[in-house]
C-alpha cells in the first residue's frame, strides 16, 4: 500500500541519545545511533521503499520523563521541540512532530503543549510513561490530581496524546529480578503502559473530557485481549466497580483510545484488535529505529484484511485524527 502514515517513529538529540543505548547489543549500537539521529537520509530512503508517505516524529524514551532535575527536564523538552520543529520545516510533507513535555512541572508542560501546537504546529503529544521529579525513586503517573489543568489544556487544544512505554523503576520491577530479558519490549514495557492506561480510564479523566483521545502502541499493549476481563472480574458477585469513573473500562477503551501496530506485526493480534476496537481505531506504525521499516510495511501490506480496512489503518484514520489534511490533502 502506498501513502501510509506512521506515527510511532523516534529521533534523539545529543542529550537523550544514550537513553536508547541499552536496547540493543553493543555490536548494533553504531547502527541504531545512526538511525535515531538521522531524519532526512536513511529514514527517507526506507520510507520511500516501504510506501510510507509521512512519519510523525517523537523523542526517544525515557528521555525527558527520566530527568529528575525539573529545570533540566524543562530545558531538554523545549530544546528537543525546537529542534524537531526546525527539522519538520525542512520537509513538512514527509514529517510532522509530536511534542515532548516535562511533566515534572505540570504548569510548564501546559504552557509548552500550547506553544508546540499553536506556534510550532505540532500535531499532538508523546509522553514516555511516568515522570520523576526531584526524587528518582518516586514515579508520578498521569492520573495524578496535579495534572488536571494539563489535561484540560490538551482537551481544549483537541490534539491526540500518545502514551509511550518505559520500564518500571527498579523498586517496582522486582518481579523481573534475575530475568532481565523480560524488561523492555519483551514484556515490561507492555505491562507498565497497560496499567498506566487503565489508571487513566479508572480515574474519571474521560468523564471530565469525553473527547480526549489517547494513543497506545504495540497493538494496544495487550489491552484488546484483556479489557473484557478487566470489566467482568467475578461477575457473579454482582458488585459495582470500585473506581471513580462512571462507565465500563471497555467503553473508554473503545471511545477514547486508538492503538497502533508499532512493533507488533502479528496477524492474530491485529484481527483480535479489529474485533475489539474496530478498524477505525487502529493506526499503522513501525517503531523505527527499533524495528525494521521493511518488515512492518511488508507485513501490513500483505496482511489478510479487506482493502478498505487496510486503507483506514494505513492512512485515513491517522490523517483525520492528527488533522493532516492541510499538508497531505484528503
Residues assigned a catalytic role: 287
77 vs 98: CA distance, rounded Å: 11
* 289-312: burial string, b at 16+ Cβ within 10 Å, e else: bbbebeebbebbeebebeeebbeb
Task: Tell me how far apart the alpha carbons of residues 64 and 9 are, in angstroms, rounded to a whole number.
Answer: 17
Q: How far apart are CA 93 and CA 287, in angstroms?
A: 20
Burial 98-130 (b: 16+ CB within 10 A, else e): bbbbbbbbbebbbebbebbbeebebbbbbbbbb
Q: What CA dihedral angle connects 297, 300, 302 and 307, to 10 degrees?
A: -120
Give the contacts of 302 (CB within 8 A, at least 6 positions apart): none
Residue linked to cell 553493543: 26
- What residues contact residue 254 under an 8 Å CB cut-off, 6+ apart? 276, 277, 278, 281
In angstroms, the CA 190 to CA 122 distance is 26
Phi/psi at 133 (5° precision): -125, 110
Neighbours of 211 (CB within 10 A): 9
Give residue 182's region: left, alpha or beta (phi > 0; psi -120 to 50): alpha
Helix, strand, or coil (residue 303)? coil
Amino acid at each position: 500500500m502506498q501513502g501510509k502514515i506512521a506515527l510511532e517513529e523516534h529521533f534523539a538529540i545529543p542529550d537523550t541519545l544514550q537513553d536508547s543505548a541499552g536496547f540493543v547489543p553493543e555490536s548494533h549500537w553504531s547502527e541504531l545511533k545512526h538511525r535515531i539521529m538521522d531524519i532526512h537520509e536513511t529514514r527517507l530512503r526506507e520510507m520511500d521503499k516501504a510506501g510510507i508517505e509521512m512519519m510523525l516524529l517523537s523523542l526517544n524514551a525515557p528521555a525527558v520523563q527520566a530527568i529528575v532535575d525539573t529545570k533540566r527536564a524543562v530545558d531538554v523538552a523545549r530544546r528537543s521541540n525546537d529542534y524537531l520543529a526546525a527539522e519538520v520545516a525542512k520537509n513538512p510533507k514527509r514529517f510532522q512532530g509530536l511534542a515532548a513535555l516535562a511533566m515534572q512541572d505540570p504548569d510548564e508542560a501546559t504552557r509548552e503543549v500550547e506553544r508546540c501546537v499553536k506556534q510550532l504546529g505540532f500535531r499532538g503529544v508523546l509522553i514516555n510513561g511516568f515522570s520523576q521529579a526531584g526524587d528518582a525513586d518516586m514515579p508520578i503517573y498521569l492520573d495524578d490530581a496535579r495534572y488536571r489543568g494539563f489535561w484540560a489544556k490538551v482537551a481544549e487544544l483537541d490534539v491526540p496524546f500518545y502514551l509511550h512505554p518505559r520500564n518500571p523503576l527498579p523498586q517496582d520491577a522486582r518481579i523481573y529480578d534475575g530475568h532481565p530479558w523480560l524488561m523492555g519490549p519483551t514484556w515490561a514495557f507492555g505491562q507498565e503502559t497497560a496499567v498506566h492506561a487503565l489508571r487513566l480510564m479508572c480515574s474519571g479523566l474521560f468523564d471530565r473530557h469525553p473527547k480526549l483521545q489517547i494513543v497506545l502502541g504495540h497493538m494496544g499493549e495487550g489491552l484488546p485481549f484483556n479489557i473484557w476481563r478487566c470489566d467482568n472480574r467475578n461477575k457473579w458477585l454482582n458488585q459495582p466497580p470500585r473506581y471513580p469513573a462512571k462507565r465500563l473500562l471497555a467503553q473508554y477503551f473503545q471511545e477514547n483510545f486508538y492503538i497502533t501496530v508499532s512493533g507488533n506485526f502479528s496477524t492474530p493480534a491485529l484481527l483480535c484488535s479489529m474485533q475489539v476496537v474496530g478498524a477505525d481505531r487502529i493506526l499503522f506504525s513501525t517503531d523505527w529505529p527499533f524495528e525494521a521499516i521493511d518488515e512492518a510495511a511488508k507485513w501490513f501490506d500483505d496482511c489478510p484484511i479487506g482493502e478498505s480496512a487496510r486503507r483506514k489503518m494505513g492512512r485515513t484514520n491517522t490523517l483525520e485524527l492528527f488533522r493532516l489534511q492541510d499538508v497531505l490533502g484528503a
